[in-house]
Homo-oligomer: A and B are copies of this chain.
Amino acid sequence: MTTDASAPARRTRLTPEREQELYGAVIDLLREVGYDALTMDAVATRTRSSKATLYRQWKSKPELVVTALKCTKPVHVENVDTGSLPGDLHELADRIGDGSDVDTPLIRGLAHASATNPDLAEAMRQHLIEPELSGVRQLLGRAADRGEIDAAVPAAEFMPHMMLGAVITRRLLEDVEVDAAFMHRYIDAVVLPALGIGRAR
């Protein structure tokens, strides 16, 4: 991996490798101190960057944090296309349940911090939430095109609430983190029947 930490503030963009290195440091700091206590100074020191470089590239702490999270993060619904709705949802379950992909304590901490940091909330919405919602809409659109669901099925609007709600409430209610097996059962029991697919009663 190329590191050019010694490079002075340049006009050119950072290399992808250097970006990844910076994002990794941001995530480490988030885990260590949390969002509120994380400073751009600490990121600059940890990564041997100048603060000018950080601000030129990412504009603000919330933008940097959210971009870092996006690059290490969850599910990337937009890349899921197995050819069937049940297939797509169970592929999502595998991605959500794979602890190496989704750092739920980290995300929960950021969700909590966003309640008192409007800039962070806006950055999360723009960079993390909206792309996933758009991916969900595409996934459901393909299912409607294939005739698997009625395009007007009322539950479609609540797909994001159903899926994210399962991830978040598992630990609150059961004191265990979500895993793929739980998500597979939840999809078969709740999501597909709500969309009008699955076992007859």
Q: Which residues of A contact B (CB under 8 A)?
A: 105, 108-109, 111-112, 114-115, 121, 125, 129, 133, 150, 153-155, 157-158, 160-162, 164-166, 168-173, 175, 185-186, 188-191, 193-194, 196, 199, 201
Contacts and interface: CB of A to CB of B under 8 A. Distances in A.
Contacts of A173: 129, 133, 160-161, 164
Nearest to A185: B154
A135 to B, nearest CB: 13
Interface centre among A129, A188, A190, A191 (most CB of B within 10 A): A190
Given A108-B115, A161-B173, A161-B186, 14 more contacts: A109-B112, A133-B173, A154-B188, A154-B190, A154-B193, A154-B199, A161-B170, A162-B165, A162-B190, A164-B169, A165-B166, A165-B169, A189-B194, A193-B196
Give the secondary structure class of A's interface. helix
Nearest 5 interchain pairs by C-beta? A165-B165, A154-B189, A196-B201, A112-B112, A194-B194
Contacts of A193: 154-155, 193-194, 196
Nearest to A170: B161
Contacts of A108: 112, 115
Contact of A165 (B111, B161, B185): B161
Contacts of A185: 154
Contacts of A160: 169, 173
A137 B182 CA distance: 20
Nearest to A196: B201
Contacts of A155: 189-190, 193
A73 to B, nearest CB: 15
